[in-house]
Amino acid sequence: MSKFKVLIKKLYKQKISSKSFILTTLLYLAVLSGFMFWSEIKDLIFSGDADTVAVVNETDFDIAQVLLDTDDVEYVYVDSGNIADKLKDGDYYAAFTLSDADGKLAAKIESYDPLPLNDQKDFQSALSQAGQLYAMSQMELSPEQQQLLLSSEPVITLNSLNETANDGKSAEEKMAGVWVSYAIGIIIYIFVASYLSMITTDVASEKGSRALEMLLVSVKPEVHFRSKIVGVFLVALTQFVILFGVLLLLLRFTDGGNKWSVVTDLLNSLSISYFLYIVGFLFLTIFMYLIIGALFGSLVSKVEEAGQVMMPAMMLTLVGFYVMLTGMGNPDTMLIKVFSYIPFTSGMVMPMRLGATDMSAIEPIISFVLLIATVLTLYFMSLSFYKRSVLTYSSGGIIEKMKTVFKVTT
């Protein structure tokens, strides 16, 4: 077995069997399962606990056709009277009093405790819809006219005259792109943060325990550097496959396949090239941060200093993550465009632009080429620096450590 393989085997075995890997994988699986089974869990915990909302309808309008019972809310239609007492006693969660105000529906929402924001929004939304129907009912429209009004959304066709731009995506495709990109951004952020920390700590620990000196007698620093990057990448890939595999199984075999069909519909609205870009950006970004992590790990003298040197790289990932989050609201801003070209953030930001905006085919290619060039440049620069830093012990901040390396090895 080559030295490279021996080093990878040791690292892989050690990391896969470590408590932290097992616990974080279990934690992610628990979160995934919780997310997938949320409705069942909610039913189990809050079973039969649909909130009762009393409705006092002082109009002639049949409000029951609008206010439909859900898993969370059950409407009861009552006369005004002892509502305040029942709200106080907890018999009713809230009460609506509906009346006519010059042809419009007037609604008063009462509750004993102030309502949570979500409930406020839900009730207002339901009542707003009821208000529209009430207004229509006041106009004495025929059923056909009512139907026409209800289905009055315009038929919109998008057409971009710029020939270099891709065919315009529909709003649905863009929304799907936003959500998939959001998920990808989170995956990249979590994996980069976890495995950047893993590789930095691992190199720092070997250097701090001086085991590295013994290792470097038999393996060249470049082989050691490569083995760390590939080894940690394989650990990351293993965790990714486990999580992704379980997610697919859960989607496929729970909820009678309903979730699976939602996901396939979502994925069908996205192109193959989009997925190829996503995979490329995901792996290259992780590789890039692993290179940075190994380099930073080689700068410290003991494992306790690993957190300190990791900070700048963590900040970069955080910046990328937050910029990506701003794109959830509007993915077409200048901020998103600029950061989608910066290699340290493009992995998280460009997928958002790819999925949720219309842009020319050359833009993601430029961003991808920039990322590849950065990864290669970083790799060769780090390799050269790693050879010098890995056996140099110094104190101070990251800049001071770098200066020491240059001083004692030049």
Partner 1 sequence: MVLQLKDVTKRYRDFVAVNRLNFTIEKGEIFGLIGQNGAGKTTTFRMILDLQDTTEGTITWDGQPIKSVSRDFLGYLPEERGIFPQMKVEEQLYFFGELHGMDKSELKKDIDFWIERFDLEEKRNVKAETLSKGNKQKVQLIASFIHKPAFLILDEPFSGLDPVNMELLKNAILYLRDQGMTILFSSHQMDNVEELCDHLCLLKRGESLFSGSLLDLKKQYGKTKLTVRTDKSFEVLSNYPGVNHVKMERDSQAVLTLEDEKYAPEIFDLLSNGNYIEKFSLDYLSLHEIFKEKVGAGLV
Q: Considering only residues 117, 161, 217, 334, which one is a binding residue for partner 1 as defined by CB under 8 A?
A: 217
Look at the alpha carbons of 127, 133, 137, 138 in this order and tell me if their dihedral is positive or negative: positive
Closest CB to partner 1 among 357 and 389? 389
Region binding partner 1 by CB under 8 A among candidate stretches 118-126, 211-219, 275-283, 378-386: 211-219
SS3 (DSSP) at 74: strand
Question: How many residues bind to partner 1 according to rule CB under 8 A?
Answer: 24
Least distance between partner 1 and beta carbon 321 (Å): 32
Least distance between partner 1 and beta carbon 298 (Å): 13
Closest of 62, 119, 58, 116 to residue 83, by C-alpha: 58
Please report the DSSP string for 221-282 in residue order.
HHHHHHHHHHHHHHHHHHHHHHHHHHHHHHHHHSGGGHHHHHHHHHHHTS-HHHHHHHHHHH
Least distance between partner 1 and beta carbon 8 (Å): 12
Residue 410 near partner 1 by CB under 8 A = yes
Q: Considering only residues 211, 249, 279, 315, which one is a binding residue for partner 1 as defined by CB under 8 A?
A: 211
Please report the DSSP string for 112-162 in residue order.
SSPPPHHHHHHHHHHHHHHHHHHHHHHTT--HHHHHHHHT-----------
Closest CB to partner 1 among 104 and 407? 407
Residue 209 near partner 1 by CB under 8 A = yes
Q: CA 313 to CA 202: how far, in whole Å?
A: 16
Footprint on residues 373-402 left by partner 1 (CB under 8 A): 391
The residue type of 44 is L
The residue to which tokens 């590295």 are assigned: 212
Q: Considering only residues 29, 50, 193, 216, which one is a binding residue for partner 1 as defined by CB under 8 A?
A: 216
Residue 104 near partner 1 by CB under 8 A = no
Region binding partner 1 by CB under 8 A among candidate stretches 36-44, 58-66, 202-210, 395-403: 202-210
Residue 80 near partner 1 by CB under 8 A = no
Residue 6 near partner 1 by CB under 8 A = yes
Contact 391, 366 (CB under 8 A): no
Three-state secondary structure along 155-180? CCCCCCCCCCECCCCCHHHHHHHHHH
Q: What is the largest CA-CA distance in the chain?
A: 92
Residue 339 CB: number of other CB atoms within 10 A?
A: 24
Q: Considering only residues 160, 218, 268, 360, which one is a binding residue for partner 1 as defined by CB under 8 A?
A: 218
Q: Considering only residues 3, 86, 259, 337, which one is a binding residue for partner 1 as defined by CB under 8 A?
A: 3
Residue 213 near partner 1 by CB under 8 A = yes
Least distance between partner 1 and beta carbon 15 (Å): 11
Contact 352, 326 (CB under 8 A): no
Least distance between partner 1 and beta carbon 303 (Å): 10
The binding site for partner 1 (CB under 8 A) comprises 1, 3, 6-7, 10, 14, 206, 209-220, 391, 407-410
